[in-house]
Amino acid sequence: MFPRWRFLPKPLPSDDVYVIGAAVPSLLYGIFFLLLAGTAVSLSSCASVMTVQPQVGRLAASGRYAQALTALETRQALYGKNNQLLFLLEKGMILHLNGQYRESIAVFENAKSLWEDLYTESLTKIAASWVANDYALPYRGEDFERVMVNIFQALNFAALEDYESALVEARDVDSKLAVINEQYPPGQKNVYREDAFARLLAGILYESAGSYGNLNDALISYEKAYDAYANDYREHYGLEPPRVLLENLCTLARWTGGPDEGQYQGALSGQDCPSLKEKSLKAEVIIIQYHGSVPDKRTESVLIPLPGGYVSSFSFPQYSARSHEDGLRVISVRDQQGKVRHAETEAGEEISRIASKNLADRKTRIMIKGAARSAGRYFIERHIENEIAEKHGRDRARWFPVLASFLNLAVDRADLRSWQTLPAEIRIARFILDPGHYTFFLGQDVLLGDVAVSPGQKRFILFCSNF
């Protein structure tokens, strides 16, 4: 049986365990006992969340969204106080994938509010994260996850044809990216500092408004998207500007009469792009395809032997890619006369690659914090050992490095929390159609839905192909 740990008014020489509590009631003892508490908290938090998420993720990846939602909601208590943001992100995404767009909007709004509140963390929790591990802190999400909330919220509104609200979400990406970049000092900026797909989506939403000012804003958004694809995304994620972006840039360059029309036509292999007048007489259906699952995190650890018989370690998370088939990418549309057209979706957002690159980009900062955390614990532990030896003899202090090393290894945990119901990639295609009624398929026979469109109208079809 383990002895009870408590502070006593005076030492009891016959009981070695009680000596620690009575020896030096100092700040260092408080920190050491915080380490003990951190061990229990981290193990509990890690075990609880990691029990629920894999099950929920598997159900969502197989298209069983109702079961995934039930599994999530009935186990909400296991997420604990520090993981409520993670719970909301998972719930909002499952509702989105299930086509429950209004319900998803409400959950994502709660997630955004909680995200703002998490910036006012308590000093006690921050101190605990330096002594124990990051599970002592509420989950605040990866940088790219903050922008993903706005993207999926914009798509929620777009699916409901509320393009004004969708545009508010797309505009908010600017402020999110500014906050992300401001938190890093010069020379330590993350690779993820721009989101090309968010810019492309904003351009489409601006264009849907149709006014002169909104068309100018659409052109600016498309140009920012093209720059992000051609530079950041091409270099870091191997992603080229999708065809729909090139066509829209060509159309708006023709509208402004600028010299860039030829450049974008060249990128389209010389094919012509429709004018704004031609597009106003037709309808557009934008296809958004979600495919695969974002990678989950695994632990990598470094063992550190220290002087005096102490052993410590520091752990850091690494993304581990999940395998998935390429799947179908061809979208077919059939009109009422039976005529069929095809288009292939193209990658617009490689969330899997962004996640891995974003984490790898800050790996050094994580490792520095881990090493500093180990060094800080070692300093505290040696100080306590010396105080025990001075007051009660070296024999009674000999066992302390063993206990401290055990605690060091137990409390050291990489933060493996992540938003696991995100897709690996977002793909996009677009049809410009005459007004009328159409039936859409993935491939030849997987029904996506029936859509009626009118002149100048834009419609979104969202679907997940993990089936």
- Between 285 and 120, residue with greater pLDDT: 285
Q: Residue 306: which pLDDT band, with cuts at 50, 70 and 90?
A: confident
Residue 388 in this model has a pLDDT that exceeds 70: yes
Q: What DSSP element (H or E) covers 80?
A: none
pLDDT tens column, 42-57: 545 555 777 888 899 8
Structure tokens at 380: 């505290």
Q: Residue 211: which pLDDT band, with cuts at 50, 70 and 90?
A: confident
- Between 456 and 263, residue with greater pLDDT: 456
Query: Do the beta carbons of residue 409 and residue 417 sit within 8 Å?
Result: no
Q: Is the dihedral of CA 78, 82, 84, 85 positive or negative?
A: negative
Q: What is the DSSP letter of 183?
A: T
- Looking at residue 11, its pLDDT comes to 38
Q: What is the DSSP letter of 321?
A: P
Domains of the chain by residue range = 141-241
- Looking at residue 133, its pLDDT comes to 61
Query: Do the beta carbons of residue 333 and residue 446 sit within 8 Å?
Result: no
Q: What is the DSSP letter of 26?
A: S
Which residues are bridge partners to 450 per DSSP? 439
3-state class (DSSP) for residue 133: coil
Average pLDDT value for residue range 109-138: 68
- Looking at residue 112, its pLDDT comes to 94
Instruction: Name the residue type at position 463.
Output: F
- Between 446 and 5, residue with greater pLDDT: 446
String of DSSP letters for 40-59: HHHHHHHHHHHHHHHHHHHH
Q: Residue 71: which pLDDT band, with cuts at 50, 70 and 90?
A: very high
Q: Please, what is the average pLDDT of the chain?
A: 82
Query: Do the beta carbons of residue 407 and residue 44 sit within 8 Å?
Result: no
Q: State what percent of residues in the chain have pLDDT above 70.
A: 81
| Entry pTM | 0.83
String of DSSP letters for 227-278: HHIIIIIHHHH--PPPHHHHHHHHHHHHHHT-TTHHHHHHHTTT-----HHH
Among 340, 326, 331, which Cα is nearest to 442's? Answer: 331
Structure tokens at 405: 């090393």
Among 406, 362, 317, 408, which Cα is nearest to 131's? Answer: 408
